Each structure stands twice: as C-alpha cells, then as structure tokens.
Structure 1
Amino acid sequence: MLMSDIKILVVDDSIVTRETLESYFAAEGYTVSGAETAEEAELRLSEETFDLILLDIRLPGKDGLTLTRELRTRSEVGIILVTGKQDEIDRIIGLECGADEYVSKPFNAREILARGKNLIRRVRKQRELEKKPADEPVLRAIGTWQLDTARRVLIKSDRSESQLTEGECQLLLALKTHEGTALTRDQLMDRIKNRTWNATDRTIDVLIGRIRRKLSEDPLCPQVIVTVHGVGYLLSSVAENSAPEEGVCESL
C-alpha cells in the first residue's frame, strides 16, 4: 500500500490551521484534501473514500459534533477531533458521538501524526477484514447479549444488532476476559491498543457510557457493566435480566 493511496480530509474554517495540518500529513506522503465547512466536507465524502478526517469542533453552519454523529452512523472512517483548550466538554461529547481521538490546539506535530497513523492502520485493517470471506462468528456472552468479535457487533436475543467501534470492542473484550473482576481505568486503557492518554483522560468513562447505551442499560442501575467505586469497572457474571437486589443500584 502506497502512502499516497491513503486519503486524509482536514475540515477547519481557519486557513492557517487547515494548511498547517495538511502540511504535516502531506510531508509524510499522504494524499491530503481540505474543506472549510461541514457541508463542503460532506460533498467531498460523497465523492471520495477517505481513511481519516481531522475535524474541527467549532465550524460555521453545521458543527463538528453534529458531523461526527452523522458520519458514525454510516461509516467507520477514522475521526480525530481538533479542539481548543476551552473545549473540554465538547471534546467529551465528541467522543460520545463516536470520534476516535482528539488533539488540542496548539498542535504537537509528532503527537498528531502518531495518532493519525495509528488510526489509519486500524481503519485499513478493518476494511481488509470486511473484504475477506466471513469466518464462523466467535460469540461471547455479554449479559443476555452476544458479542460477535469478528464483526464487532452486539446481538440481542431478538437478533437485532448494535455496531461497536474498535475501542468499544477492545474494552468490552478486556472486561469479558476478566469477567467478575474489577479493572482500574489504567488497566483498561492499557488494554486498548494504539491509545495514548494522560491522567485526566476520560476516554474509558466515555466508552463505558457508549457501551451501556448500546446494551440498553439503565444508567442509574447498570447490571452488566458495573461501576466499582474507588476502583473502576467490572463485567458482571449475573444475567442482564436478573433482578437486582434492593440497594445495589449505583448512583452515577
């Protein structure tokens, strides 16, 4: 695979920021395009297939958070949010919407290139897997759901499905491997491949919230993924439809 075959789209209304990001990746040999608005980005995405999108949160017209949410419903393209330091809440919401990574202004060139390259590898690997003939599904029980690890989907008892992102699937598998044992956020983060983080990072909490919604869990009384206060999270071996004992529901 030639580097020039990998396509990156930079979406930012600041020409300085846009050209700076474009130059970082173009210097590495990638094919890079730019868009000033979400609407312009959508047009480009309808015409070409991109591997990675660097997306500013604050855009004129449709904002980056809305575009992230819409893209994630139909595509597994890599999405890195570009945020200002004052955008902490928006950054967390963006991750909840399905963004894979985030970078803050001002940029560290080595950091954004490393995050981009890791994400491109994951996207390419997933596309290759989708092209291969389907193997026998590997199903893991998650409460009353089944996790198809090959397709990264949760399957409900009525056969309806909920798609997982790579990060969500890795996290759920880590919890499954240690079912019934509480894992700290540090331990869970270490098990999510190709992720870098810092001590204030809320990525694990965001991913847990997204997985719980896909499992249709009551956020005030989750029965499958349980918060162990002062420790972290565990995957309960108790079936999802088992009635909780009085007083065991947690308050988040």
Structure 2
Amino acid sequence: MDLATRLLIVDDDPGIRELTATFLTSHGYIVDVAEDGTAMRAAMARGDYALIVLDVMMPGEDGLSILRTLDRRAGPAVIIMSVIGEEVDRIVGLEMGADDYIAKPANPRELLARIRSVLRRNQASALPTVAPANARPYLRFAGWRLDPVGRQLFDPDQIVINLSDGEFRLLLAFAEHPRRVLTRDQLLDLSRGHNAEHFDRAIDVQVSRLRRKLSRDDTAGGDELIRTVRNEGYIFTSDVDRR
C-alpha cells in the first residue's frame, strides 16, 4: 500500500466520515475512518498513514488533545477541522504542530486541495534528508545554529531548543529572509504555503512564543532578533551565515 495515498478521517459524525471518505476515495486515495481517538490509535497500530484529517470538536477526547499525543516530527501530517469562528482552536492547533486547518463544514474540494498541498510540501521537505551531515547548510545567526535538514535549533551553548513544527517553519522563514520586513501574509505564505488561510493572529502568537525561545541573558533576546514593525509586520534583525 502506498503511504503517500493513505489517509485517515477522524470525526464523530458518521455522515461526515463516510461522505468525506467516499469523495477522497474517488480521487485516488486509500481512506480509513475513525470515530474517536481510541479508534484512530487502533487504525494507526494496523498501518501507517500519510495524513490525518482531525475534527476538533468531538465528545470526550477532543481533537486538540488527540493532536497533542501524536508524534509531530515522525508521524503523519495533520489537517485539523474546526467550526467557523473558533479562533482559539485554530491558533492552538497550529501551535501544536498541525500542518493546516480548514473551517467546518468543509467544502470537499477545498479539503482535497489542502490535502494535496500538505502532502506535496511534506514530500518536498523530505527530499534533502539524504544529504550527509557534514554537507548540511546550517543557518547561523547571533551565535545560534538552525539545521533546516535535521529541523533542529541549537543555542550558543549547542543545546537543542525544542520547537513546534509551526515555530520551526516560522524561524526558517525569518532566517532565509534576514533584515527584510515581512508582512503577516508573507510569513503565512512562507511558513504555511500559498494555500494557507490568511490568519494574522496565528502568526502573532507564534512570533511571541518563538521570541521567548530565542531569549537568553547573554545574547540578543528574542525581541531584538525579531522586531515588530508597526503597521507592517516583522523583521529578523541578525545577519545570517549559511555554512
């Protein structure tokens, strides 16, 4: 079975599960369904999935709690679905490493487009992992070292700083565009892809958390490295050396 085409739909509504599965199957995907976290884990124990479509609002264990238990580094991609207007769910879901989100009820064709986009991004980002460690183009700034291939951030003492998937992508976007004002829309496109919904608040929250992780007593703090440009966006203030 081709991992790149195997999907899992997790939703407590049987009608939505079956309609979504039928639509995605008609477009060439192998689709399984689960009504809750327990059924999802049972399905994952039987085989691997390239992507999970995860509903947020479910009775008992909700989608965000389920997302927290998934391995966001080595596990499947995740698209969360939340009711229109549930801003907190969208922000928290992105912060916890979801690859994308879509408002519920989801238009099947929009969901299909987002699935294709996430899978393309993940396949493209996986290609460089074959490079030998000594050939990796690290991004170095203000004593820090960012490994785009290994997806790790090292502080000036060479200690690994844990980043969520969203934080890593955002920092990579900054490091690849230093000393340049980036609007929130540009940061969304750079860190989430052109199919991501424009959602300014998500970027603001991620910048705030990233600043905290870049703050040290003996180096330029996160507020200095990532400065707010009023009415425009943010700027990464450090020079970046790629070596």
TM > 0.5: yes
- In 1, the alpha carbon distance for the partners of 2:239 and 2:133 equals 31
Q: After the TM superposition, which parts of structure 1 deviate over 6 Å for at least 4 consecutive aligned residues?
A: none
2:159 maps to which residue?
160
Q: In the TM superposition, what are the counterparts of 1:184-203 in structure 2 within 5 Å?
A: 184-192=183-191, 194-203=193-202
- Which residue in 1 is equivalent to 2:20? 21
CA separation in 2, counterparts of 1:63 and 1:179? 39
Unmatched 5+ residue regions in structure 1? Answer: 240-252
SS at the partner of 2:223?
coil
Render the CA deviation track for 1:113-152: whole Å, top value 9, x for unaligned.
1110111122233444445654612111233320112222
Name whichever of 117-126 and 164-173 sits farther off: 164-173
| C-alpha displacement of 1:210 | 4.6
TM-score by length of 2: 0.82
- The SS at the match of 2:178 is coil
Counterpart for residue 103 of structure 1: 102
Q: Report the alpha carbon displacement of residue 227 of structure 1 after superposing the two structures with TM.
A: 1.9
- Give the whole-Å Cα distance in 1 for the aligned partners of 2:71 and 2:227: 26
Cα 1:191–1:74 shift into 2, 3 Å: closer
After alignment, is 194-203 or 61-70 more displaced?
194-203
Higher relative contact order (CA 8 A, sep 6+): 2
Q: For residue 84 of structure 1, what is the aligned residue in structure 2?
A: 83
The CA RMSD over aligned residues, in Å, is 3.0
**CA deviation digits over 1:25-70, x for unaligned, max 9?**
1111111000111122122223311111000002232211112122
Query: What's the offset of the Cα at 1:178?
Result: 3.4
CA distance 1:16–1:170, change in 2 (3 Å): same
Match of 1:246 in 2: none
Supply the distance in 1 between the matched residues of 2:216 and 2:78 (Cα, whole angstroms). 26
177-186 vs 116-125, which deviates more?
177-186
Report the CA distance between 1:176 and its aligned residue. Answer: 2.4
Contact 1:3 1:29 in 2 (8 A): no
Q: Which amino acid in 2 is paired with 1:212? A: R
Deviations 1:169-189 (A, max 9, x none): 443333224323322112323
- 1:1-252 to structure 2, matched below 5 A, reads 6-73=5-72, 75-130=74-129, 133-134=132-133, 136-162=135-161, 168-192=167-191, 194-215=193-214, 222-237=223-238
TM-score by length of 1: 0.80
2:206, 2:115 → 1: CA distance? 20
Correspondence for 1:249: none
Structure 2, unpaired ranges of 5+: none
Q: Which moved more, 1:76-85 or 1:155-164?
A: 155-164
More helix by share: 2
Q: Give the % identical residues.
A: 36
